[in-house]
């Protein structure tokens, strides 16, 4: 894998490799010394033109736990705030000899463009309303674990795809502005899940009928049929007009309220990519419920980003499990 730009670029076997290696990487999280030598001497720059808590810090932790040198560059405090173009900024950072650029940008397609300007590897950490592939990977990692813990024999019985085969996953809320939804639809389709998109008509993306997913404006109609619900943040910063009459009406139609929590199938997983608007798209009862995987998603973010950085920078020809095993015998 040279770059990670879109979930659509990943085949089922590539996704499986990333998730399996992430499982191995996750063991590092429980060690007293959280360090593997796998990416010693490699330099990763996090180039963030938009705000981030989870994505940037987990890419940083992932790189550091793999012994890469990780540098954070954000729009505030750099020449980007003096009006430098995306191209000049990318070329400038690349000219210092970095191995990988992790890019978040408000323009859809910015990481793809950057990958054509420079030789370094490019990882998309969220581009406008387009895609967020590592989020979809960490969501798949979290859900795979959840499905396996409910039915431990499923993985051995039918192989990887079976974890998602026959599973129905609803993605609910501000679909129009969600790069998380786009990447998840693509990845979950490859994994063999049934995806249902739920949104008010005003937040249903145009052309949604051509997406590989069902769609509905009636959340209550699908609630009882889902194995997982992914709630999306209402992205007010990307909204220019009134997409719904009031916050209260949005919650009544599309929030995961306490009443809807009770209507979910027992054991159905609750996911949210964060940051959450508690009380708007998700109630505190749902966010903190026993079957909420929201903090598992955060922890998975580090393991997935370790896995992806290693796959891209560490040389995929070697046994993918080797960095963890080698360190374990040290």
> For binding to ligand ASP (CB under 6 A), which residues are involved?
126, 132, 179-180, 233, 235, 273-274
Q: Going by C-beta distance under 8 Å and a sequence separation of 6 or more, which residues neighbour residue 91? A: 117, 118
Q: Going by C-beta distance under 8 Å and a sequence separation of 6 or more, which residues neighbour residue 156? A: none
Secondary structure element (H or E) that encloses residue 112, with its range: helix 110-117
29 is in an annotated binding site: no
166 is in an annotated binding site: no
135 is in an annotated binding site: yes
121 is in an annotated binding site: no
179 is in an annotated binding site: yes
Min separation Cβ 137 and ligand ASP, Å = 13
Min separation Cβ 128 and ligand ASP, Å = 10
Min separation Cβ 233 and ligand ASP, Å = 3
Pairwise CA distance, residues 30 & 51, whole Å: 28
Min separation Cβ 178 and ligand ASP, Å = 7
Buried b (16+ CB within 10 A) or exposed e, 164-192: beebbbbbbbbbbbbbbbbbbbbbbbbbe
Min separation Cβ 69 and ligand ASP, Å = 25
Looking at beta carbons only, is 39 or 244 nearer to ligand ASP?
244
Looking at beta carbons only, is 108 or 168 nearer to ligand ASP?
108
55 is in an annotated binding site: yes
Looking at beta carbons only, is 126 or 323 nearer to ligand ASP?
126
Q: Going by C-beta distance under 8 Å and a sequence separation of 6 or more, which residues neighbour residue 110? A: 49, 86, 103, 127, 128
**Is there a contact between 203 and 253 (Cβ–Cβ < 8 Å)?**
no
Biggest distance spanned by C-alpha atoms of the chain: 60
Looking at beta carbons only, is 162 or 277 nearer to ligand ASP?
277
The CB density around residue 312, as the number of other CB atoms within 10 Å, is 21
Q: Which residues are annotated as a binding site?
A: 54-55, 82, 104, 132, 135, 179, 233, 274-275
Per the annotation, binding residues for carbamoyl phosphate are: 54-55, 104, 132, 135, 274-275
Q: Which residues are annotated as a binding site for L-aspartate?
A: 82, 179, 233
């Amino acid at each position: 894998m040279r770059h990670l730009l879109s979930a659509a670029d990943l085949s089922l076997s590539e996704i499986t490799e990333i998730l399996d290696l992430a499982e191995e990487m996750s063991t590092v999280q429980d060690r007293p010394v959280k360090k593997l030598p796998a990416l010693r001497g490699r330099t990763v720059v996090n180039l963030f033109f938009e705000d981030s808590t989870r994505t940037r810090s987990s890419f940083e932790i992932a790189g550091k736990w793999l012994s890469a040198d990780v540098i954070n560059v954000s729009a505030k405090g750099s020449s980007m705030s003096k009006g430098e173009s995306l191209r000049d900024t990318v070329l400038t950072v690349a000219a210092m000899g970095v191995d990988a650029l992790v890019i978040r940008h408000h323009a859809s397609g910015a990481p793809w463009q950057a990958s054509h300007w420079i030789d370094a590897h490019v990882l998309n950490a969220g581009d406008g309303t387009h895609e967020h592939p590592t989020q979809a990977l960490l969501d798949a990692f979290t859900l795979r674990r959840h499905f396996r813990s409910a039915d431990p024999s499923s993985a051995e019985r039918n192989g990887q795809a079976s974890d998602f085969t026959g599973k129905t996953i609803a993605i609910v809320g501000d679909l129009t502005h969600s790069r998380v939804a786009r990447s998840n639809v693509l990845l979950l389709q490859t994994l063999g899940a049934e995806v249902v998109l739920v949104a008010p008509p005003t937040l249903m993306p145009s052309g949604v009928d051509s997406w590989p997913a069902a769609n509905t404006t009636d959340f209550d109609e699908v609630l009882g049929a889902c194995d997982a619900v992914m709630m999306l943040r209402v992205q007010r910063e990307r909204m220019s007009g009134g997409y719904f009459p009031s916050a209260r009406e949005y919650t009544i139609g599309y929030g995961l309220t306490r009443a809807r929590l009770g209507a979910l199938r027992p054991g159905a997983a609750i996911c949210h990519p964060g940051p959450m608007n508690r009380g708007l798209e998700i109630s505190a009862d749902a966010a903190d419920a026993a079957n909420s995987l929201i903090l598992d998603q955060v922890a998975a973010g580090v393991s997935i980003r370790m896995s992806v950085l290693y796959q891209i920078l560490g040389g995929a020809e070697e046994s993918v499990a080797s960095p963890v095993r080698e360190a374990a015998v040290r």
